[in-house]
Every structure is written in structure tokens, then in C-alpha cells.
Structure 1
Amino acid sequence: MPKGVYLRRAGRIAWLAFAGAMLATPAFAQKKPAPQARSAPQQPAAQTIPSNPDDAFVALREAARKNDADRAAAISATLVDYPIPSYVEYFRIKPQMFDSSGQARIDTPDAEVAAFLQRYQGEAIADRMRNDWLLVLGKKRDWANFDIQYPQFVLKDDTQVECYALLSKALKGQNVAAEARTLLVDPRYFGEGCVDLIGYLAQAQQIQRSDVAFYARQALEQNYTTLAAKIAATLPDVRVDSDALATVVKMARNDPAQAAAYLSTVLGNLSRDEQGAAWGVIGQYAAKKLMPEAAGYYRRQLDMGGNQWLSDETQEWRVRAALRQGDWKQVRQSIELMRPELRAKDPAWTYWYGRALKADGRTSDAEQQFQSIAGQFNFYGQLASEELGRRITVPQRTAVSDAEAMAMRTRPGLVRAQKFYSLNLRFEGNREWNWELRGMNDRELLAAAEYARKISLLDRTVNTSDRTKAEHDFAQRFPMPYQDIMQRNTEAVGLDMAWAYGLIRQESRFIMDARSSAGAHGLMQVMPATARYVAKKIGMTDFSPTMMSDPNINILLGTNYMSMVLTDLDSSWTLASAGYNAGPGRPKNWRSSLARPVEGAIFAETIPFTETRVYVKNVLSNATYYSALMSGRPQSLKDRLGVVAPSTVTTTSLP
């Protein structure tokens, strides 16, 4: 998602008024806010409590998810001897900590929470509870307890908690501006804790008005208008050139060319930095629409100099726009100007920087870049290896014994995880499983992965084996269940089985009953309408959607659809992988905007949908390893990616 840029400028933040009512500047002193009064609960229609304990537990989880404290208390009272008491208690307490909108309550039962943490110290659910409590303590400004609890929070994966932690430090006189700038890069995760942090740092003059404006602009670009208004309200006297900048953002989202034309008429009202940031926003949206003008908009941004007010997403799309245009000088320049943490986070930028250096004749420097990521078992690690002249192979296998694998069956977290998986509560199951893996060495991880395979949890086999650093078992990382069914169906339609397995690994991680939010079903995540279409095409007259739970039917329809998409997209694995995820019409549209043929890796990197971009890279990386495993011979990801040529055909009869 776009993350935005905000600019220095005088002028009232009137342009944010449409987002919603401005909030009063928060009180940041140690004084605690007055307790919220609990309104008398409305009496809903009587809801029965399931008699089956497992069903009641699932109902309790749902009540906790909705923060329905009364129903959670009623259900938990019936689960006195349930085998996972920690979660029964957690699901009872958690709705008392947050209101129905998900906001932290300051009348939380602190004593109960503290007792819970003491009772389940060291368990995954205790860390989850501590995460929740830190949000409450931060909102209450109870810094004494916050500072005691925060160092014990293990995962530290909640941006809002991290904002409160910085606010606590700032209130003690520490300058946290640099840490805040590193943290506040994605408004999706800000929450009220980060709004409070921004406001306090501005009042304490640790950050400038222009920083506040930048954070508000990030939110506005992602269309979080209410959040943008809240950030702006932390300093009511912040002023920007309201009409010009608001109009540029709104226009660029829908029509970058119109935004560019408008910006050209108001340039005299903007500083040089503001002009550069505005051209960057227009370039980002133009690049996402695959407009050839995008690179030109970005060149105007580069001519303005500076990089301070460009969001991460604007910086990333600056590289992608140059890649699509084949402008290696701009690729190199854009990566060199990237925020260092952003550049280091994704091996894509190391790979493309190496390619830009190579295009400039700096072969030795390029090889250093490729060498730094060539050992990674991912899309860009594979491509970097090929740039160094090495084709793709699988590492030597480290095998573990049955005894090592079965020793994992008594690990408490894995036991709890299996209970959750039996209830189809994968979120909690994965939390417990992953928590138990912390601190395991490679051999222990391989043993846990093998144990998961033995109990038919292939998604855990893959994800656990993926964690090893020096010892590996790629038969675990890239399993091949239902091999007879797969071979029969792929051979029937002339489909590469390695590609089919690579797709399944990405789609469902081999969870047979996997369901997407859109309704895709089973191993190959086939949509119901697509399943009916394919069944009709292949003459399956008795098809019913309930059949998709049968791996025979799921694989039959999935592989047939893969074959149809591949044929419709000129036998390009790159285009067909994109088409399977986003629908075959979209890659046709994306290629129609190409000015010339491009290598498959460039096409994949410039796919405008984040999910599809990641999907295509993972599927083809997977397929390359599957091919190496199946054939026992080195493989080429570059060959598999191929070249994508322009096409004027943008319609398809496929769903």
C-alpha cells in the first residue's frame, strides 16, 4: 500500500477536515485519565451455550474476538475442566480489556491480568496477554507498570506497543526521534499509541511540524483519512498548502496524468522539497497503473533532489518504474537513495542493484552484491546464484531419526497446537507451534518438522523446516503428497508437475481443508465458480462443490484449470502463475502496457498487486526447487521465468 509523503508548508490543515472530527491533543503527562464507566449491558436475545465442550470453547473464542465480556464469562464458567485452561481464562479476561470497537479499556482488571501472567509465565498465551495489557497500560499512562512489563514482552511485534515504549522513554527525557522515524513507516499498524507518540514528540520539539505532516500524509495516501486527521490534530497549528497537496494526492490515486497537470500549475506555491515529494506520489500511482510516464514523473522527483519525504512504497515503485523502462541508471540511483533499512529488508533491492552495476560495466561490484544473497533459498537468492554462474540445486540432506522426531510429541506447545488444529483453530495452533520452536537448533527444527509430517501437518513441516540455517532437508521443505494423483492428472494435460506442486505449496501449504476468505477451497484453492466452469469443460456432469474436499477432484480440476490458463497465456509460467492468482485477464492487461519484451523477473517485480507479485515469485521459486528434487539435476529459475512480450489481446473467456 502507498505510505505517503507529507510536506513542509504554511497553511491550515483544512484539507484533512473531510476525514472526520479532529481529536483534542492528548494529555501526555503522567496523570492518568479518569476511568471509563461501564455502561449497563443491553440484554441480548438469549444465546445458548453448546453442550459439547469443544463447541463451547470455539464459541468462547468467538465471544472473546467480539469482546463480548458477558457471554465470555458465561461460557467460560461451563469449561471448568477443559484441557487448555490457559486459553479459557485468557478468552474470559481479554473482553474486559477492550471495548466492542477494539479500543483498550482503562478499567481493565489489572490484578487478574497480573495473576494470569504469573500463572502461565513462559507460555505463548502469556506473551499474548502481556501484549494486550501493555496496550491498556500505555493508554492509562501507567508507566510504572508498563516499564516493568515491557522488557518481559518477548515477540515485540506490535507497533502500537513499541510506540508506547518510546513514549515512556520520551517522558523520562530521552530523545527518541530517530527510533520513532525508524518505527513509524506503516500507518496500518499505528493505532492510538502511535498518534500519542507523534503528538508528544512534536510538543517536546523532538520532531518538527514537517514530521507530523509527513506521518499524516502517509496515512492519507493509504486512504486512512480518519487516522490522518487524528495525527494532524496532535498539533492544531501545523499548516500546509492545503488545497494543492490534498488535490494532488486525491487526483494521483485516480488519474496520475491529471494530478501531474494540476501540480504543474501550482509549483510556484511549493518548495523544492515539496515539489519533489509531490512528483514522487504521482510517480508511485502512475507506476502502479503501469503507465510509461511513471519513470518520467520519478525523474522529475529526482531532479528536485532529496529523499526525506518519500514513503517506503514511493521509493520501491521508483525502482520498479525504472525497471519497466529498462533505465538501469535510474534503477541504480533509486536504490542508492532508498532508506537504508528498507533497502536491507528485501533481497530484491540487492539483486537489482547488482544488475544495475553490471549494466554499468562494474562487474566486480555487481558480483559482490550477488554473492551477499546467493546463499538465500528464495527467488532473489536463486537469481543471484545464476548471475554468478551457478544453476539451482538442493543442499545436502540432513536426516533425523524417528526417535528424534517422536521426542517432539511431548513438547507442551506442540501438544496445545495439535488440540487447536483438531478444532480447526489454526491461528492459535500456529501461535503455539511457532512459540515452541523458539531457540531450537537446526537438528531440533528438522525433528519437529519430521514429527509434523508424521502427524500429517504438512504446513508445519514446511514452515518449520524453512527455519533451518545450516542443516537442511528439502524433502521436508518441498513435500510431494498425493504423488500418484498428481502424476496422473498432470500427465493427462501435459502439465509440469514441479510447477503444480510449487503452486500448491504457495496456495494451501498442503492443508486439504484450507478455505480462503473469498471461498477458494482445498489444496489448489479453486474458486467455486471456477470449479464449476472447469468441471463442465471436462465433461464432469455430476459435479458438486462439496466434492472439492476430495483430493482427487481438487487436483483434477486444479490441474485442468492450470493447463487452461497456461494455454491462454502463451505457455508462460510467469503469466500463468499471475493468472491463477489474479485471474487470467489481469496479466493480459499488464503485459499490454509493455513497450518491449522484458525478462520474466522484471515482469514479476512490477506486478501492481502486492499479493500477486509475491505469489508469482514464490510459486516459480518453489517450482524450480521441486524440479531439482524430481530430476536430480541443476535447474534454472531464469529459464522458467522466460521473457514476457507485449500483447494487444486483453480479453479471456476463462473465469
Structure 2
Amino acid sequence: MHLYPRGLRIVTLCSVFISGISFASPDLHKDFIQAEKIARSGNTKNYQQAISNLEHPLKPYVQLAYLKNHPLLKNEQEIERFLDVYSGTPLEWPLRKTWLEYLMKKRNKALFIKYFKETSDAELSCTHLRYQLDLGAPEAAILKQVTELWLVDKSQPKACDSLFTLWQKQGYMSQELIWQRLTMVAEKGQHSLIPYLEKQLPANEQYLADLYYEVRKDPSATAGLYRFKKGSEKEAQIAIYGIRRLVWRDEELAIRAWDKLEQKFSFSQEQKNDVYYSFALALASKQHVQAKFWLNKVPDEKQDDALMQWQLTNLLQLQDWPGIVAYFTDKTLSNGQRYWLGYALLQQGHKKKSNEVWRDLAEKRDYYGFLAAARLGLAVALQEQALNVDDALIKEVQQAPGFLRAKAFFELERFTSAKREWNYLLNTSTEDEKLAAASLAHQEGWHDSVIITLAQIERFHHLDLRFPLAFEELFERYSKRSNIDLAWSYAIARRESSFAPNASSSAGAHGLMQLLPSTASYVNKGSVSRSKLYDPKVNVKLGNDYLKYLKQKAKGNEVIATASYNAGYYRVEKWLPKEAIDFDLWVEGIPYRETRDYVKNVFAYRQVYHTRFGFADNLFDELVKMKIQK
């Protein structure tokens, strides 16, 4: 059983760590919280009494809390046993790190080496190498490992200083490595390191560090050719870096500067291709008149998905139907590219060829498949499959320590810890075990975990799990109250949070329908706190009210309202064309990739929910008749 390779040993031999219960009651949760509090207080006698009477799946977290507060040599045996039993689980590293930091403080070199494990923590890694040197490890073997620690785009902790000094003294710091690190730092790292690296360069090259910094700070400096004194390969590298940044800031200046730079430097073809690629993406995204010219300069080997999308967008804006057919025929195409190839063929009067392209696509369960089906007058194909998992396997997963701990944390609303245990469970599971875990998670209402799990193992046909009727009573009540289509409301929440009530974004949106407190307060006509947005009832109510508001602003157009939910109405309003165009042409031309994909996903999800609600019609039948304009 892969779910917990050491699990049977844990249950049978180490009952002090894991209890055999399957589910925790509220009273047991209170016992756990009290025991955890005692463990953190530092009173050993009270802790030993509390843990001896505790029967709870999270019992090892009580012991972890105690050992983290008592990383003492007298507890080494207990710490070693804990680290051994919970090796690889979320319980291991918090204690191992605390223990190593204690041993480092005590300068106990032998024990530090014994308990060290490879880590991204530079302080611990440098200490490990330094202690090995102190205890007689071969210098050459150790110093070879230092290069990787030195060659990073940020400052390293003081614990590494003596190691770096010896490494440099022994001749490991080459000019090639210095330039390599300077490049990393100047282009994406801590620019405060540049003066240090500048001093390591030969005197006649130190100006390059200043030039790199200047170009990083202000890409327009690339246009000043007087800054490039020698026309060397290293100056050419800086010029390429600068011009690729400048085109996103000031495309006209970048175009003029590139003409002059090409005359000054003997760029390699690879460098030129990198510039062509950046110019093509930037100018196409800005709808620049020269976009087509630069798109066509990019060689086939650099034609990735992003560039092909912008090539398509540019050709669609020009309504260059022959160009689309010429460019996309005889290529391996995405579903979107296949749809637009069929569209372009139809515009040229090749209906039979167009239908051939669309007919296979209409079998796909996505935005373009539903579009193709609507164009052909075909029914929607969901290709749904029921999830069948062996009952015995489900029971086995249900008793796995990782599942029990995840369940207990979910019940305690400690979602970060719950997700760590859930991820551990998945990382130690076979595909069948993951399916069993997903089935259990669905029963528990951990919908976002189910959706992510099934996507990871590419099991996309289990629609009852991937598109659940989560918080059904709330969505039905508040969508009806706001006169919002239930499938649309569900689709927004599915795209926004995958039905995680505690979801939050880097932009400051929260809850099931991902509302900003400012937006929620505006719709509510009264202040709404961030914490309130984690309440599903409040969030679903205000989310549907916001959809109602946006639909009214968009004069009833739900496509424009959907785009506005993601990007804001006033930004979307600027994207609306003066002359009416087909809905799908407008969506494909949305300049923000996030919003463009958002609209496609929401309407695909809406169709799935609509069909799952028992409706046979294709919502895209009406969409393909829709025109978008100001």
C-alpha cells in the first residue's frame, strides 16, 4: 500500500504517536486543543499527563509542539524516534529544522551532521558543509559543493561567509562564474549585490556592472548607444536584455533603438531570434501596426503556444482569413486554433472543409468544442463517466493516518495544515488510491481538493466530482433572489475558488466568489470585512448581487458582465468595439490573457452545469448569434 509506506509500523508499534480512531468528535477536538496548549506551555509533567490520555488523529502534532519547545540533548532519543517515524510527512521538517538550529547554536557538529537532510535553507546547508570541513572531510569534495550555494541571485546568510572566503581563496571563483552571477542578479535578483560583484570583475570590465544596473533600472538607457563603449559580447548581452524589456515599456523607442543596435553589434542569430520573439509578443499584445511584421520574423523553432495565440489574434483582428488558413494548415493545433481554422475556411466559402474541422472538435468538452457544436447544430457532448472505486480501498484510505490528520485539521478549520497533510497523502498514493481519496474528499465537501486531485491525474470525465453542486441551497436561493442564472453563478464560483470558502488571492479577493472587500461593501451599500467574506452565506449573496449589478451595467450582456467580473467593468468598456463583431471574435481579442481565458472557462463551466441540471440545449447556440459592441 503506497498511501503510507510506514503506516502499518506506525499504527502497531508506535501507538504513542497515532491513535486508531477514524473520526474525531467535537469533544475530542477540545481535548486535542487543550493538550496542544499544554505542550506549548513547557510544563513537562502536565504534558506527559495530557498526551497519555489523548486519543486523537492529531496526537503527533501535540508531541511535535512539545519537542519543538524542548529541543534538548536529553530528548535526543525521543526526537530521533519522531523524525524516523514521521520521515517525509509534514511533521518531520518543523522538528528537524528546530533541532538542527539548536545543535548549531550548541556547536554540536557531529550531531548536526548526523541529523542534517538536504534542504533549501542556505544557512543550514552552509553550516553542514563547514562542520564537515571542521571534522576532517576532504576539502576538495566540500568546496565543489559550495559553488551551487554561491551562484544564486540573492545574498546568502552570514553562516556561508567563511565557506565562501575559503572557496574563493582556493581558486574556485572564476571570472565566468562572476559574470554568470552578475547576469542573474542584474536581470532578476537583488541589485544590492551588484557593487560586490563589480569589485570581483577585472578593472576594465567593472563598468559593465554599472551598465547592467542602469539598464535594469531604466530600460530606455539601452537606446543610448554611447553607453556601449566597446561593442563586446558582454555589452551585446546587456543590450539584448535591455531591448527586450524596453519594448514592453516604449515600443516606438525600442524599434528605433534596435535598428541602431543591430548596426553596432554582431549579434548571434539566437540573440536576434530572442529579440524578434519579445517584439512579436509585445507588439501583438499592444495591437501595434507592426505586429504582423515581427510575428513573421520569428523562426518556426520559437513558435510556442503564446506566440501562436498572438499570431492568431493578430490575423483575426485583420480578418485575414487566407492568412489564418495558410498559417495553421498542416500544423499540430490546439482546440482553439482548430476552431478558428474552421471559421476562416467558412469565411472563404469552404463550408465542407470547415465542417470537417469542426465535427471532430464538437466532441470535445470545452469552450471550443461547445462553440463548434453550436456552429454545426449538434448537441453538447459531455462524455461524463461515473467514478467507481473499490469499497475496500476506500475504507483503507479512510484509515490512513494522513487522511485522518487532514480530516481533523479540516474540521478544526486549520486549512493550511489540512492541505499539507492532504498533499502528503496524495504524494504517497497510487492513482487508484488518489481516486479513493478524491471520492472521500467529495463526501466531506473538500471540493477544491477533489478538483485539484482529479486534474493532477488527468481524470477529467468525473463531472459529478469536478463540477459539484456545492453549497446548493445558498446558490439556489441567492441566484434566484438576484435573477441570475444558477449555472452562471456556479460557473463563476467554480472558476474563482473551486468552492474553497477560505480561498484568497494575491489581489485581495476572498471567499467562494472571490470578492474584494471594497467591491463587497459597494454592492452591500455598507462595510463588509474580509472575515465576513469567508462566510459562504455572505459571499454567495454578495457575489450574485455583484453579477446582477454588472449585468445591468452591460445592458444585459452576460459575456461583457463575465469579463467585467474578472477585469472590472470600466476596463472592459474600453475593449468594446465601435462596430459590432461576433461574440467569439471579441472574446479571442481580449487583450488580457487572464480575462480572455476566464471568459472562455466560465462559459464552458456554465454549459456543463446547465447540462447537468437536465437541460438539453446548447447555450452556445445563442452566443454564436451574439454581436459585441459599445
> Which band: TM-score by shorter chain?
0.5 to 0.7
2:603 counterpart of 1:620: yes
Deviation at 1:445, TM superposition (A): 4.8
Q: Distance in 2 between matches of 1:224 and 1:598?
A: 47
Q: 1:284 — aligned with what?
A: 281
Q: Distance in 1 between matches of 2:266 and 2:342?
A: 33
Q: What pairs with 1:216-227 in structure 2 (closer than 5 Å)?
A: none
2:88 counterpart of 1:89: no
Q: Distance in 1 between matches of 2:263 and 2:475?
A: 64
Distance 1:76 1:97, change over 3 A: closer
Q: What pairs with 1:135-154 in structure 2 (closer than 5 Å)?
A: none
> Residue 614 of structure 2 aligns to which amino acid in structure 1?
S
Q: 1:256 — aligned with what?
A: 251
> Residue 91 of structure 1 aligns to which amino acid in structure 2?
P
2:515 counterpart of 1:532: no
Q: Would you say the 8 A contact 2:71–2:98 is kept in 1?
A: no
- 1:118-158: per-residue Cα shift (whole Å, max 9, x none)? xxxxxxxxxxxx6759999899999xxxxxxxxxxxxxxxx
Q: 2:140 — aligned with what?
A: none
Q: 1:457 — aligned with what?
A: 446
Q: Would you say the 8 A contact 2:407–2:418 is kept in 1?
A: yes
Deviation at 1:532, TM superposition (A): 1.3
Q: 1:608 — aligned with what?
A: 592
- 1:353-396: per-residue Cα shift (whole Å, max 9, x none)? 56336635788987887788776644455556667755243524
> Residue 287 of structure 1 aligns to which amino acid in structure 2?
A
> Residue 239 of structure 1 aligns to which amino acid in structure 2?
K
- 1:436-464: per-residue Cα shift (whole Å, max 9, x none)? 34697877555433321322322223334
Q: Would you say the 8 A contact 1:331–1:356 is kept in 2?
A: yes
Q: Would you say the 8 A contact 1:449–1:461 is kept in 2?
A: yes
> Residue 349 of structure 1 aligns to which amino acid in structure 2?
S
Q: 2:105 — aligned with what?
A: none
Q: Would you say the 8 A contact 1:513–1:521 is kept in 2?
A: yes
Q: 1:45 — aligned with what?
A: none
Distance 1:315 1:358, change over 3 A: closer
Q: Would you say the 8 A contact 1:391–1:635 is kept in 2?
A: yes
Q: Distance in 1 between matches of 2:70 and 2:567?
A: 42
Secondary structure at 2:465's aligned position in 1? Answer: helix
2:234 counterpart of 1:239: yes
CA root-mean-square deviation? 5.7
Secondary structure at 2:592's aligned position in 1? Answer: coil
> Residue 511 of structure 1 aligns to which amino acid in structure 2?
A
Q: What pairs with 1:237-636 in structure 2 (closer than 5 Å)?
A: 238-241=233-236, 245=240, 248-269=243-264, 273=269, 277-288=274-285, 290-293=286-289, 295-299=291-295, 301-302=297-298, 305=299, 307=301, 313=306, 316-328=309-321, 349-353=334-338, 355-356=340-341, 359-360=344-345, 377-380=365-368, 382-383=370-371, 389=378, 391-393=380-382, 395-398=384-387, 405-422=394-411, 424=413, 426-437=415-426, 445-466=434-455, 472-536=461-525, 547-591=532-576, 597-600=581-584, 603-604=587-588, 606-610=590-594, 612-636=595-619
Q: Distance in 2 between matches of 1:533 and 1:570?
A: 20
Greater share of residues in helix: 2
Seq. identity, %: 20
Larger radius of gyration: 2
Q: Would you say the 8 A contact 1:96–1:108 is kept in 2?
A: no
Distance 1:572 1:188, change over 3 A: farther
Q: Distance in 1 between matches of 2:128 and 2:609?
A: 53
> Residue 278 of structure 2 aligns to which amino acid in structure 1?
V
- 1:281-319: per-residue Cα shift (whole Å, max 9, x none)? 23322333x4242533424635xx5655x8875565444
Secondary structure at 1:450's aligned position in 2? Answer: helix
Distance 1:54 1:572, change over 3 A: farther
Deviation at 1:509, TM superposition (A): 1.9
Deviation at 1:586, TM superposition (A): 2.0
Q: Would you say the 8 A contact 2:363–2:381 is kept in 1?
A: no
> Residue 527 of structure 1 aligns to which amino acid in structure 2?
L
Q: Would you say the 8 A contact 2:339–2:361 is kept in 1?
A: no
Secondary structure at 1:241's aligned position in 2? Answer: helix
- 1:496-521: per-residue Cα shift (whole Å, max 9, x none)? 11010011112222222333344423
Distance 1:228 1:602, change over 3 A: farther
Distance 1:506 1:107, change over 3 A: farther
Q: Would you say the 8 A contact 1:393–1:625 is kept in 2?
A: yes
Q: Distance in 2 between matches of 1:421 and 1:473?
A: 24
> Residue 581 of structure 2 aligns to which amino acid in structure 1?
P
Q: Distance in 1 between matches of 2:201 and 2:569?
A: 46
Deviation at 1:259, TM superposition (A): 2.0
Deviation at 1:530, TM superposition (A): 1.2
TM-score (norm 2): 0.60
Deviation at 1:526, TM superposition (A): 1.7
Secondary structure at 2:518's aligned position in 1? Answer: helix
Distance 1:455 1:250, change over 3 A: closer
TM-score (norm 1): 0.58
Q: What pairs with 1:60-209 in structure 2 (closer than 5 Å)?
A: 74=69, 86-94=89-97, 109-113=112-116, 132=120
Q: Would you say the 8 A contact 1:320–1:606 is kept in 2?
A: no
Specify every segment of 5 or more residues in structure 2 that has no aligned partner in the other structure, as ranges.
1-32, 42-65, 102-108, 131-143, 157-175, 206-231
Q: Distance in 2 between matches of 1:319 and 1:224?
A: 38
With 79-88 and 439-448 compared, the bigger mean Cα shift is at: 79-88
Deviation at 1:245, TM superposition (A): 3.9
> Residue 473 of structure 2 aligns to which amino acid in structure 1?
D
Distance 1:222 1:372, change over 3 A: farther
Q: Distance in 2 between matches of 1:89 and 1:188?
A: 29
Q: Distance in 1 between matches of 2:460 and 2:530?
A: 42
Q: Would you say the 8 A contact 1:443–1:471 is kept in 2?
A: no
> Residue 111 of structure 1 aligns to which amino acid in structure 2?
K
> Residue 262 of structure 1 aligns to which amino acid in structure 2?
A
Distance 1:584 1:642, change over 3 A: farther
Specify every segment of 5 or more residues in structure 1 that has no aligned partner in the other structure, as ranges.
1-50, 60-70, 99-105, 115-129, 143-166, 172-186, 192-208, 338-342, 648-655
Deviation at 1:475, TM superposition (A): 2.0
Q: 1:64 — aligned with what?
A: none
Q: Would you say the 8 A contact 2:374–2:624 is kept in 1?
A: no
Distance 1:259 1:107, change over 3 A: farther
Q: Would you say the 8 A contact 2:587–2:599 is kept in 1?
A: no
Q: What pairs with 1:33-52 in structure 2 (closer than 5 Å)?
A: none
Distance 1:244 1:508, change over 3 A: closer
Deviation at 1:629, TM superposition (A): 0.5
Q: Distance in 2 between matches of 1:330 and 1:228?
A: 47
Q: Would you say the 8 A contact 1:408–1:447 is kept in 2?
A: yes
Q: Distance in 2 between matches of 1:562 and 1:495?
A: 7
Q: Would you say the 8 A contact 1:548–1:554 is kept in 2?
A: yes
> Residue 277 of structure 2 aligns to which amino acid in structure 1?
G
